[in-house]
Amino acid sequence: MSEIRFDIGSLHAAYAAGTSVVAVIDMVHARIEAADDPGIFIHLARKTEMLAQAQKLGPFDPVTKPLWGVPFAVKDNIDVAGMPTTAACAEYAYAPDKDATVVARLKAAGALVVGKTNLDQFATGLVGVRTPYPIPKNAVDASLVPGGSSSGSAVATAHGIVSFALGTDTAGSGRIPAGLNNIVGLKPTVGALSAAGVVPACRTLDCVSVFALTVDDAYKVFSVAAARDAADPYSRDIAIQPLAVRPPVLSVGVPAKADLKFFGDASMQAGYEASLAMLSRLGCRLVEIPFGDFYATANLLYEGAWVAERYAAIADFMEANEAAMHPVTRKIIGGARNLSAADAFRGLYALQAYKAKLDPVIASVDLFCVPTAPTHYTVDAVLADPIVTNSRLGTYTNFVNLLDLCGIAVPAGKRDDGLPMSVTLLAMAGRDGLTAALARDIHAASGLSLGATGWQQPGILPAASSTDDGMIDLVVVGAHLSGMPLNGQLSQLGARFSRVARTSAAYRLYALAGQSVPKPGLIRVGDGGTAVEVEVWRLCADAFGRFVAAIPPPLGIGTIELEDGSAAKGFLVETAGLTDACDISSFGGWRRFVIAAAS
């Protein structure tokens, strides 16, 4: 049987060329056998069951069914009709009569369920070894932990057994296993993917997450599955934008050097430093941020309210079946019995105080870049010290859902010992597309093969076209450019970067005098003009109106002619505003002028 790549673009190209679903299903089972890892799946669909799913798809149609014939795995705390849900505890098992909402949406888009994957019991852990079933083997190095709690989902994806897999993420369970297995782990904004039909860990923080071989695949699955769901009271409307080109300059918050934690792992530290150098080469402006309050927020997760929430999720079962639970899981969740309602409220109050302190810090940059994990641990090391090792793995993950951040773990290279190096990009809720756009560039720049498959990365898919979607193009010239002081005004209005462009050669650019924030003025002159570099951003009509209303004189909005012959609304300056202004047209744009002035 010839090799079939399972990244979605390659798989759909194979289908279009005549590959049958039967051949793909056979390949799934061949790869399961080749992986020789009984710890990956708790329940596996028979070939006849997968064929029955495939027969319902109809002819190959990737337009109406964007995941047509794409095999995927589901963490075994997420319901799939016809398959037991165990949460890695056989005594807890039940037979759901319907799919979890997210599974139903993916199946409706044509995806095929391969089976249910292993996990840290009741999704309590970041190591992947807290299971009564065989421990899944790390796909890169079997001596290392696979990461958890979504261990089986990550390993199945890394081996190319499936194109993608669902996990869950409360404290990092959708990011740590991705980072340790050289794959992508997308942890969406809380509530973007329905948690209806998911065994809860902490209902107020739980996310369904996506593991994939590429950023494009992870974001495609996320885009298909995301929707508000009345069956999930924590579901919410999140505008899911197409994965587009990112702004050319982004401010990226990174932990201050004194606050970084690698627990003696010099290779991980060197790998992270190399990743930051890569970000700089990609045009990002790194901003060191004190991280003490982020760590203090993370510490809340296993205190008070959220331990009690884990206990509340399974209290009835635990009281009747405590001996059936994994001893480490039992110890952690059982600790809630010593807590009071007052302890829970103290935790909530502490979190609110940290949010108030950190909200302006988070808003001060476009996004953050942290190590996905501070180190790699062997299975033996974790079994010898299960609590401390697990806690350390959550150093850069535990605070994320508490602070309502979205995130994506992405392979960034190899450490000097050959083990995977992964970073996680984090941003405010709703900015999933921004983190994914930068993650895509990081993965491409790394040059890594996909997971443990040896497959080379496919080319980056073209950016989504700017079709007539009701959005208005806005040409920005100066302080609203990406990375400039007023760009945040656009982000707050939900603006989306479209492209870098140049005006026609009919304009002059001036540095205006008397501005509290340095700004340029663009004016059309006809003869004697030059082309000026600009950026085009897109806003909905309401946001565009609010933005225009707030523009102070002498600036205003007019029609700007671009070099490619198109035209869009953008910033122009009144002639009266040029008093004492300096003509800087020779620099070709505001960014070049600012850089030259600072040097």
Catalytic residues, which ones? 75, 149, 173
Instruction: Calculate Rg over the CA atoms of the chain.
Output: 25
Determine which helix (DSSP H) or strand (DSSP E) holds 309, and give its type and residue range: helix 304-321
CA distance 555 to 565: 24
Tell me the residue type at 141: D
The token pair at 132 is: 């009564």
Q: Packing angle between helix 215-225 and helix 101-108, nearest 10 degrees?
A: 110
Closest to 24 measured CA to CA, from 75, 61, 72, 58 = 72
Give the residue among 592, 179, 240, 215 at the shortest CA–CA distance from 420. 179
Q: Are strands 184-187 and 496-502 parallel, antiparallel or unpaired?
A: unpaired
Pairing type for strands 471-476 and 533-540 reads antiparallel
Order of all β-strands in the sheet with 555-561: 496-502, 533-540, 471-476, 567-573, 555-561
CA pair distance 412, 447, nearest whole angstrom: 9
- 114 and 70 Cβ atoms separated by less than 8 Å: no
> Counting runs of H as helices and runs of E as strands, what totals does the chain give?
18, 19
- Written as six digits, the tokens of 375 are 């180190």
Which phi-psi region, left, alpha or beta, contains residue 470 (left: φ > 0; alpha: ψ -120 to 50)? left
